[in-house]
Chain A
């Protein structure tokens, strides 16, 4: 099958091709899911949000303007879906706290998520240990830093695309990445570097 560009696929979807949208899903679901998983730190929430992202994208495809920016467009939807999910979670926590007198921890440990069935085991024990430490350290980043770090590392967006998705200037995105790395280094210390 020939390799369609994003805009070609979008045009086919507008013409009513479900197969073209399947190709868009295949192209982006891993990137989007990894972004959502890291941001939400909860597998169920990430799966729910992933569905929302593609349902919204399928519904709003007519609004997409052919500018070669389908990836940024999908990640903007993903970012909004993640923020909505976090807000819902906060509301649920407030209601639970009000009804049962406790907040109820919902976040799973990302290290456990990765250690379970979702992630392939690393090749060596040393790499495995570094990976474990890194996953835990990434989870401790601020929300803004985690957004940039995850979009770059797990979703493969360029910094220009990231600044567009998050609606911030390029320098802000770069600054957040710099400080994210600095914080990771501080957390991991000599164990890693």
Chain B
């Protein structure tokens, strides 16, 4: 720390003026300022400025705001303390597994009795008609689609 540059000395100067420099820093700085009048002048300016800035006041906040903050924080901390971190970490998989089990149960309960639904001959005719209608609708949609691409107004 013997050969201090002016830049380094100015960093130490800040620490010194604000009372945060250790003995070694103070020694290096005073060694430098003895030889460097520029830095000595800077240090004096900084010290004066520090004295003046101590005059600056601090602001207060309204009492109502402070008590409001405390009340809300009490709610937050109480909420957090009711469920410790370990339980919260555990609760996520537990909730997930429970939801999955419920979903599986519902699916099993709603499942049709047989693998395939049995269709009566009359029912089969109905399905055939529905299927034909679906094919028609599909063709219609395809026509609309093609017309749109061709830039034609379908309607």
Instruction: With both chains docked as a complex, state the minimum distance between the C-beta of B90 and any C-beta of chain A, in angstroms.
Output: 15
CB-based contact B20/A158 at 8 Å? yes
Q: Select which of B11, B61, B74 is within 8 A of A50 by beta carbon.
A: B61
Q: Select which of A30, A122, A159, A182 is within 8 A of B55 by beta carbon.
A: A122
Is the CB of A114 closer than 8 A to any CB of chain B? yes
Contacts of A122-179 to chain B: CB distance below 8 A: 122, 127, 130-131, 134-135, 138, 152-154, 158-160, 171, 174-175, 177-178
Give the CA-CA distance A169 to B14 in the complex, in Å. 15
Interface range, B side: 35 or more
CB-based contact B69/A25 at 8 Å? yes
Give the CA-CA distance A153 to B58 in the complex, in Å. 10
Given A58-B76, A174-B14, A178-B13, A135–B56 Cβ distance below 8 Å? Answer: yes
CB-based contact B45/A185 at 8 Å? yes
Contacts of B73-111 to chain A: CB distance below 8 A: 73-74, 76-78, 80-82, 85
Q: Select which of A50, A59, A177, A192 is within 8 A of B14 by beta carbon.
A: A177
Is the CB of B65 closer than 8 A to any CB of chain A? yes
Q: Select which of B15, B57, B73 is within 8 A of A55 by beta carbon.
A: B73
Is the CB of A72 closer than 8 A to any CB of chain B? no
Is the CB of A54 closer than 8 A to any CB of chain B? yes
Is the CB of A113 closer than 8 A to any CB of chain B? yes
Is the CB of B70 closer than 8 A to any CB of chain A? yes
Is the CB of A22 closer than 8 A to any CB of chain B? yes
Contacts from A to B (Cβ < 8 Å): 13-18, 21-22, 25, 29-30, 33-34, 37, 47, 50-51, 54-55, 57-59, 61-62, 113-114, 118-120, 122, 127, 130-131, 134-135, 138, 152-154, 158-160, 171, 174-175, 177-178, 181-182, 184-185, 192-193
